[in-house]
Amino acid sequence: MSVFSHPAYDNHEEVAFYHDAKSGLKAIIAVHNTNLGPALGGCRMWPYADDAEALNDVLRLSRGMTYKSAMSGLKLGGGKSVIIGDPRKQKTPELLHAMGDFLNTLGGRYITAEDSGTSVADMKIIGERSEFVSGVIAGQEHGGDPSPSTAYGVFVGLKAAAQHRWGREDLNGMKVSIQGVGNVGFRLAKLLKEAGAELFVTDIFQENIDRAVNELGATAVGADEIFDLDVDMFAPCALGAILNDKTIERLKVGAIAGAANNQLAEERHAQVLKERGILYTPDYVINAGGIIDVYYQQMGQAKGEYDADQVKAHIETIATTMHEVFERAEESGETTAHIADRVAEERFGHEDALNKSDSAAA
């Protein structure tokens, strides 16, 4: 199957493949749209089953970044990169340097930052070979790591979902299941614990589960069991496509609000959730805290400036955006995912959305 006929291809501007035999690097960069600015999105390193899985991931993730930046009011386009390999076994300085060389071939049309399987330290190594790296500013509280901001944004959006779904102003006593308690998921769990929520967690790495149990008093559950829990909210914070025909029918929750990208296996699953009475918070809206943080880092990098209060205030607008999406979906009878897509497409100039707007005006 060619890239152009791939189901996840969405008029991407550029898809580049790179192999460096010396370091073993095999990577893909996908630039989805640059109408609002250069494409910015994290670099994910993951032991994909095959090349096809990696291509599908980078195409879907890069598209999501365009929508995420547009919904967040950022002058950025959407892009993503993936490195095929196990970050715990195959990551080396040579491989990361080769990734920097790969970035340079795009001439600044794509800027990277950390993501699943990479860290601030990795970005600094890539930055030894390329200037097109963000998320490494020394003046930021966490050294450039956007994970805390992503988690905070999800927390803000989750509270907005609870308010819309149940009219609740607090999370005290609310039961929340979290799939994935890594960098973002654990920080979200900590915020939820501080807010009085009861936590149920799972992860592919036992040490992550143990940390959540020992430090936050969470209840550990099996990887598959997470879909069967009778809880208030489900927070997917691992990989995507976990909301599908098999899992949705097992859910006993009132709302879904998590950090994972591309949670819906297919677009139609938003309608399936709606019919089941489950409020879905579109992932690229609720998990935008990280890209907001990285944007401010990128803007202030040349001057060495970073205003943490300004960043926090911008992240907190996620709640306002979520309420707008919820209310418009309720008024129109459409899904929250459809409403979010339409708003984002109008902002970054998607041709279909503009045509719809022109038709409505006529």
Number of continuous H segments (helices) and E segments (strands) in the chain: 14, 12
Cα–Cα distance, 273 to 252 (Å, whole number): 11
DSSP state of 228: G
Q: Rounding to the nearest 10 degrees, give the CA dihedral for residues 347, 348, 352, 358.
A: 50
Q: Map residue 22 onto helix, strand or coil.
A: coil
Query: Which active-site residues does the annotation give?
Result: 80
Q: Which two tokens stand for residue 38?
A: 């250069």
The DSSP line for 230-296 is --SEEEE-S-S--BSHHHHTT---SEE--S-SS-BSSTTHHHHHHHTT-EE--HHHHTTHHHHHHHH
Closest by CA to 291, choosing from 60, 11, 142, 78, is 78
Distance set, CA 318 to CA 159, 214, 269, 282, 285 (Å):
10, 31, 23, 11, 7
Residue 225 has what DSSP assignment?
G
Give backbone dihedrals phi and psi of 37, rounded to 5 degrees, phi first.
Answer: 160, -175
Q: Can you read off the two tokens belonging to residue 174?
A: 């609310």
Token pair recorded at residue 336: 């929250």
- Angle formed at CA 104 by CA 101 and CA 105, multiple of 5 degrees: 95
